């Protein structure tokens, strides 16, 4: 709890109503840049998963793809970005321990979850967080119907077996369509050189 409190104090969630005109424009540019990188990762992963789901509607091929290639695709996308930027995915319920959220990610996801519970959530709600000279741009990921084959409540025995074998500490199941699945995050470090 102490870590969470420190994270909340150390992070500034940037709101357009509290910034000077120059700072607003700067944050808008950071947001655009971050969304561009988020879309690159989202598009690359979604294209592959959709193709695997079309080839095999059971979800087994998509599960195999994710377990073998999702981290590789993320790394490939990051190689295409400027040296001061990177993208990642995270969730409260991770499958791959490499995607574990930090305290700031948790605060943002809690904010999205609260908005969902209060019927105030908008899927296009992009959040920008300033942490010193680093900005994080967050886009929520909602569980879609095709996600539920591997992340839902009624997963086939075959896919359960693959998950147990590849991800013995898996937590990324039990979702329903429309649930907050997690976030894609773009991290952008800005200094005088970029």
Total tally of structural domains belonging to the chain? 1
Query: pLDDT at position 15, please?
Result: 54
Query: pLDDT at position 91, please?
Result: 96
> Is 30 within the bounds of a domain?
yes
> Is 136 within the bounds of a domain?
yes
> Is 33 within the bounds of a domain?
yes
Rounded to 5 degrees, φ, ψ at 154 are: -115, 75
Query: pLDDT at position 18, please?
Result: 60
Query: pLDDT at position 23, please?
Result: 80
> Is 93 within the bounds of a domain?
yes
Query: pLDDT at position 183, please?
Result: 97
> Is 79 within the bounds of a domain?
yes
> Is 194 within the bounds of a domain?
no
In this prediction the pTM is 0.86
> Is 28 within the bounds of a domain?
yes
Query: pLDDT at position 56, please?
Result: 84
Query: pLDDT at position 14, please?
Result: 57
Q: For residue 77, what are the domain limits?
A: 2-189
Residue 37 CB contacts under 8 Å (≥ 6 apart), including other chains? 77, 81, 85, 86, 87, 137, 186, 188
Q: Give me the tens of pLDDT residue by residue for the chain, a chain 194 residues long.
A: 445 444 444 455 655 456 677 788 888 999 999 999 999 999 998 888 888 888 888 888 888 778 778 889 999 999 999 999 999 999 999 998 889 999 999 999 999 999 999 999 998 999 999 998 999 999 999 999 888 988 999 999 988 888 888 888 989 999 999 999 999 999 999 875 65
């Amino acid at each position: 709890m102490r870590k969470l409190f420190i994270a909340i104090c150390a992070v500034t969630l940037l709101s357009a109503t509290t910034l000077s005109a120059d700072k607003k424009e700067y944050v808008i540019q950071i947001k655009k840049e971050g969304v561009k990188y988020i879309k690159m990762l989202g598009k690359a992963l979604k294209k592959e998963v959709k193709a695997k789901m079309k080839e095999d509607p059971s979800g087994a091929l998509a599960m195999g793809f994710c377990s073998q290639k999702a981290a590789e695709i993320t790394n490939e996308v990051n190689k295409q970005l400027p040296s001061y930027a990177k993208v990642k995915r995270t969730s409260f319920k991770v499958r791959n321990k490499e995607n574990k959220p930090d305290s700031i990610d948790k605060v943002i996801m809690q904010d999205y979850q609260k908005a969902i519970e209060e019927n105030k959530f908008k899927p296009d709600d992009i959040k920008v967080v300033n942490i010193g000279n680093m900005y994080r741009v967050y886009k929520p990921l909602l569980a879609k119907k095709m996600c539920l084959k591997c992340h839902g409540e009624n997963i086939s025995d075959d896919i359960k077996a693959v998950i147990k074998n590849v991800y013995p500490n898996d937590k990324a199941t039990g979702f329903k369509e429309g649930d907050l699945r997690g976030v894609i995050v773009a991290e952008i470090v800005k200094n005088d050189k970029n």
